[in-house]
Structure 1
């Protein structure tokens, strides 16, 4: 049926009264928001049920994407766009005296992720639904997410991210689908009918309760599911007699211990309790998810020997690697399969994406912690290791060093990336260069042994979130210019290249960019009381704060630019506004000091009238998806300056590109493929190559002191960190100073400094040639379709998961 404005109003009013039991005139803004969410969810529900029923009866394969993070962003506006109800909803609510844009602001960003890993997972879910592919997410329903970042006196302060304060209008609790996850205890062996039985005893049970969120396909009938698990206890876990005796703390202790599992994303692991909690989290959602999948499979299929033909399980980084031994546990202990049959099914079901070459991110767990917490899983991992090492011995007889370097269990640790490589059918990197580094460096031994497993799937982003939703004026201009087909096939954005030299189209894109910059400038003025010029170059670096991402290189360049302006306020440079955003892990001291440095420098630069407002520095606190949607469309320059070889792919670079920003970056991650796509004249590249960086790491020969003494600019800015130039004590930034000089500049910031300065000089020249700059900007937009997550997911579906499009029959809205 056609949804009219009047019908929408009636639905809204009826829903409001049934939910709140009062007249609409008495509604609070939160009442209005919750009611609209419930109405939209009703629109979704029939399609959601139809999708689930269709998948169950079509006898086709489904994918389950396991990730510790899903950074969804706000869903109200996104779902209205996907359902094509935005205009009707806006008009209907206006007649009720309700402004949609105001109540949309009440929706919190779901606290389900931190950075690129979680946002990638969200884009992938969006693309699965858009492409009508049967694919679902599995993760943890964090009560408090990562943390809410506040900047106090320039320092990052972490506060609880209470995103569930008013509940979550999009989720449905499925208590009847709860499963039990077991920790600790011991495993007793028994014999029955010639089989060895593994009986897990004296364990601590945790109830995993699923909360399902619909993932809406863009203007189709597909509704997939993101299932998030919450850790809860049963009534039997509450010691009522102890409580009645007045021992209140011990009575509820276990309840709090259990609920802590789904309390916070990435608990601090600098102490034993934090490490144990992280491992608990990983096994908790993996076990719950796989139990749920097996149970769903068995409702429609009698024999699990065909499980891999109906189910694909993908593990997003090493966090969900315990899916491998957990599936083995279920097949062996509960389904009574032999090892070989269970292993065949497991290794044909599970696939693995590697997201990093950083040693600290290639997880490993002390065996004593692992074995105590997960005794049966450890037994399975031990058996996997024994069998794998035996096969290695057959191939490399006597080469103990190679076998030790590849073993799942070695040197007192369980190596999760090794377990992933052994137990998966596919191992993919997330950019061409990243995959090559995996094959030739980080996992070269595994590539030699399993060459058929390795493949590349360059990351992508969804144009529906990062162009249509976040930059509607540009999206409308594109549609008016080349038609709306790009909404279904982002490769059609290439047609914009025909307009790159068109003065009228250039001026329209410039007008939209200035509109977006003015909106961001207004936000900065309102929140930080700093006036920034929308006509300045908006130079943006928003991402997780980390040494290899080199925010500090950006800072040193700004300090150098500031020094030049202090010497010559009439210096011929276009005014610059440098915008930073991102969170530092609470225990990552150097990253937190980088945030303090940015804010300290901002306090100096922004108040110095001598430089005639040619330079401003802004750190935007609590960076999240919603803030990104305001920043990306306003950016002129995209800072992608990681140490070459360190950034697996990046997706921020793609979001900036899609919104017309020019990349200044190293030949790292997906920057290389962006350069290949847009051409060397439409990107600004600087710095060491990955091969040069890796050679320094392997052979040495780098001396930071030589650069300090050989480049007066470097010496000046480094000395300014510790000589009272900045309004802090001389030791505030000494750790950064010493990191460069006494610890030999691990990420080659000083080595790339001169090249980076030259690249910024090139940016200045290009921006002053307005015709050239707009041509470059349009060219970037035109070629951004190559980096759509739709393309990436199509490749996963075809090459790894072997899933196919399943159209869902049309359903009446009501």
Structure 2
């Protein structure tokens, strides 16, 4: 057969002939010749096309399989080593894994990014365009899923035996578009063309029971047992994604479960003409893994969310028990083999499920099972917001998970018996600790309480967050078990968030201090020796400017808005929520606009305000904030009096890939949540690592970022958490601020007047009423402090040499916020797990 490969010098898209590559060339070698051969093999044999007819997506898939092939040897060796070594394995249970695109990240971690770029470009192809063909995996929404992805990267990079478990969502939360300034949600069908990175494992499918009832019976020894008779059974099919560490042989699995019906097709129904009914069971089952976070404003939506949570933890625990029993006769030492981390309360039903599996399915006593369960699980809390602490109606549990409701009642009974012994005559304490809460006659299951009772460790994700958990949100548990509480300040991986996102800055850093900083971010401190080097500072500033130019080009292309690359890029990208206070930045924009309208010649340091983020589909106020941003942008951007000094941009569909464009280009990072509301934040870390300065409150990880960067390199404003609590306790009245602050009144009145809503005063009335009558998140109390702080930002930006120094120091002092540091702390203090070296044969 004639060979179809291209010559190395051929740049046209027409197929040409290349001499046959010798058989002895390594099938998964890293040489340019081996990479080219594999690339064209996959283009021809997997995509079924050749160079003449191939699309950019064909090239992406061919390259993706080429790189996946080079991961598989390491992946299989890693899995095999974990089976034979029998060390402890970290199991990370998370409803979200916001992984971002795999191809670029895998090339970085394999250490062949530049080599592959060169190979592709020698073929006359656009490497960057090929990377752009990969959709962002729709497996997460925000910080929770992004943190989980960073943790998987660090676990593999630190050679820690680990496996991530989650759901293989067919559709992400949604693809965000803007229609007349409003958020519009369309399906995020990220899997419509398949996924070259995953490995289906149908032979390891497990069954998931749902609904039905329980019945008592006696075993052959006369012991009373419980049998769960389900209404239906759903299959969970695992799909493994290899997750490589940075320049290690470790490639850990991310195992995601897809739901399918146990009987996909009802032949009798089809033959009788009931065509819809013939496939109804299949459709019903597959709904479970259909979409991330279905809207839970309806009873059906709430039931589906609970079914999702149970589905993936049940499948994952069955998987772990299967693995354990392959090499162990007993489950007595299960906790010595696995340490399971609950990423928030979404997987907390795992505590009841492990009890069921141990007691009902494997014959352990309740006492044995409870001891194993508590030693196995650890719980990470991610919120201080009471409404975000999951509570499920007991009636829903009884309908969907009848056996688990019984188990939770029994766990609670034993737990409260102990509490009453430890704290007699303190029924108020008992009530607050109880897993079961009664509200207006309805029993609710507090999933955070279940997680606290069933875990040996409880941790917050920033120093302030952990203190507030102990002082307020989980106060009673901290009094009961103070030694259970740990702080594990979040971190992000420098591989994706500096090396991949900001390659020119990475090149400059490595040129000066070598590349070991990517494994040990504390080495970045060595760059401070160059803080007074004009040539280094100029290069640093020029790289930031080039990143801004790239983002400006993207804004022009996607939003048709021309922005000034010499202006301050003031950026706030994160989930849209009232407590994150995107509308505080809008009030500032209107204040600047009012100054210009009063005096068109007023001096204004040019600023480009960039927003991004999604509002939950059922969250009206968050959607209205998006509309306000875009309505203000429509007026401000076109007003000739403004003369381009202010530009406002909302970038739709914020995701990992867009974040990789934005973080390196930002001058100012907006971290303005109400003090005491944000658990940690991770966007604040990504901005600072890339040299952005922060304007922020003393909230979440901002406090620690300020401590590390230096107070003089951080723009601080606003009330502290203690002051917020005090003001609310004494009776906070936002109208006092409105009536006594002339500039604030002018801002609110302009919104009230309908100026930004074509004369309609009712459009933004809910925002105005919320601010003036309640202001739960204290925007008006922080307004003047924020405005004054923004003026300090403007003055500081005028001195570009000093600004560059501050930028460098923000970047070099972020070692604490590497996810490598966070994972080391989890390993040493909570999981008690050690690295395992993966050895490849010579």
* TM norm. shorter chain > 0.5: yes
Correspondence list, 1:129-140, <5 A: 129-140=156-167
**1:774: which partner in 2?**
804
**1:711: which partner in 2?**
741
Q: CA RMSD in A?
A: 1.1
Aligned pair 1:144/2:171, yes or no? yes
**2:404: which partner in 1?**
377
Correspondence list, 1:195-234, <5 A: 195-234=223-262
The change in CA–CA distance for 1:95 and 1:476 in structure 2 (over 3 A counts) is closer
The answer to whether the Cα contact below 8 Å between 1:724 and 1:730 also exists between their aligned partners in 2 is: yes
Aligned-pair CA distance for 1:696: 3.1
1:785 aligns with one of 802, 812, 815: 815
**2:836: which partner in 1?**
806
Deviations 1:647-677 (A, max 9, x none): 0000000000000000000000000001111
Distance of 2:50 and 2:636 partners within structure 1: 53
Correspondence list, 1:84-103, <5 A: 84-103=111-130
Deviations 1:6-60 (A, max 9, x none): 1211122222222134433221222111111111111011110100011111121
The answer to whether the Cα contact below 8 Å between 2:757 and 2:763 also exists between their aligned partners in 1 is: no
**1:485: which partner in 2?**
516
Distance of 1:757 and 1:254 partners within structure 2: 58
Distance of 2:366 and 2:483 partners within structure 1: 23
Return 241-250 or 378-387, whichever deviates more: 241-250
2:598 aligns with one of 557, 564, 567: 567
Aligned-pair CA distance for 1:569: 2.3
Aligned-pair CA distance for 1:364: 0.3
Distance of 2:754 and 2:722 partners within structure 1: 38
Correspondence list, 1:202-601, <5 A: 202-234=230-262, 236-411=263-438, 412-601=443-632
Distance of 2:121 and 2:420 partners within structure 1: 73
Deviations 1:458-498 (A, max 9, x none): 00000000000000000000011112121221111111222
**1:110: which partner in 2?**
137
Aligned-pair CA distance for 1:95: 3.2
The answer to whether the Cα contact below 8 Å between 2:663 and 2:687 also exists between their aligned partners in 1 is: yes
Aligned-pair CA distance for 1:694: 2.1
Q: Specify every segment of 5 or more residues in structure 1 that has no aligned partner in the other structure, as ranges.
A: none
**1:642: which partner in 2?**
673
Deviations 1:414-440 (A, max 9, x none): 000000000000000000000000011
Correspondence list, 1:708-747, <5 A: 708-728=738-758, 729-742=760-773, 744-747=774-777
Distance of 1:570 and 1:626 partners within structure 2: 39
Distance of 2:118 and 2:548 partners within structure 1: 28
Deviations 1:540-569 (A, max 9, x none): 000000010000101001100111112222
What secondary structure, in the 3-state scheme, does the structure 1 residue paired with 2:614 have? Answer: coil
Aligned pair 1:765/2:792, yes or no? no
What secondary structure, in the 3-state scheme, does the structure 1 residue paired with 2:241 have? Answer: strand
What secondary structure, in the 3-state scheme, does the structure 2 residue paired with 1:622 have? Answer: coil
**2:6: which partner in 1?**
none
Aligned-pair CA distance for 1:584: 0.1
Distance of 2:772 and 2:788 partners within structure 1: 23
Distance of 1:249 and 1:329 partners within structure 2: 35
Distance of 2:727 and 2:367 partners within structure 1: 45
Distance of 2:454 and 2:757 partners within structure 1: 54
The answer to whether the Cα contact below 8 Å between 2:497 and 2:660 also exists between their aligned partners in 1 is: yes
The answer to whether the Cα contact below 8 Å between 1:47 and 1:811 also exists between their aligned partners in 2 is: no
Aligned-pair CA distance for 1:99: 2.1
The answer to whether the Cα contact below 8 Å between 2:670 and 2:695 also exists between their aligned partners in 1 is: yes
What secondary structure, in the 3-state scheme, does the structure 1 residue paired with 2:169 have? Answer: coil
Compute the TM-score of the two structures, normalised by the length of structure 2: 0.95
**1:795: which partner in 2?**
825
Distance of 1:422 and 1:677 partners within structure 2: 35
Relative contact order, CA 8 A, sep 6+: which one is greater? 1
Correspondence list, 1:677-696, <5 A: 677-696=708-727
Distance of 2:61 and 2:828 partners within structure 1: 39
Deviations 1:785-814 (A, max 9, x none): 2200000000001111111110100257xx
Distance of 1:72 and 1:516 partners within structure 2: 23
**2:635: which partner in 1?**
604
**2:195: which partner in 1?**
168
Aligned-pair CA distance for 1:237: 4.8
Distance of 2:280 and 2:509 partners within structure 1: 58
What secondary structure, in the 3-state scheme, does the structure 2 residue paired with 1:138 have? Answer: strand
Distance of 1:4 and 1:143 partners within structure 2: 36
The answer to whether the Cα contact below 8 Å between 1:188 and 1:200 also exists between their aligned partners in 2 is: yes
Aligned pair 1:128/2:155, yes or no? yes
Compute the TM-score of the two structures, normalised by the length of structure 1: 0.98
2:94 aligns with one of 64, 67, 71: 67
Distance of 1:135 and 1:202 partners within structure 2: 32
Distance of 2:114 and 2:530 partners within structure 1: 29
Deviations 1:243-302 (A, max 9, x none): 222222222222222111111111111110001011001100010111111111111111
**2:20: which partner in 1?**
none
Aligned-pair CA distance for 1:90: 2.0
Distance of 1:20 and 1:476 partners within structure 2: 35
Return 343-352 or 494-503, whichever deviates more: 494-503
Return 585-594 or 572-581, whichever deviates more: 572-581
What secondary structure, in the 3-state scheme, does the structure 2 residue paired with 1:577 have? Answer: strand
Distance of 1:202 and 1:637 partners within structure 2: 55
Aligned-pair CA distance for 1:702: 0.7
Aligned-pair CA distance for 1:784: 1.2
Q: In the comparison of the two structures, how many residue pairs are matched?
A: 809
The answer to whether the Cα contact below 8 Å between 1:8 and 1:88 also exists between their aligned partners in 2 is: no
Aligned-pair CA distance for 1:628: 0.3
Distance of 1:47 and 1:570 partners within structure 2: 64
The answer to whether the Cα contact below 8 Å between 2:572 and 2:669 also exists between their aligned partners in 1 is: yes
Distance of 2:47 and 2:707 partners within structure 1: 56
Distance of 1:45 and 1:449 partners within structure 2: 47
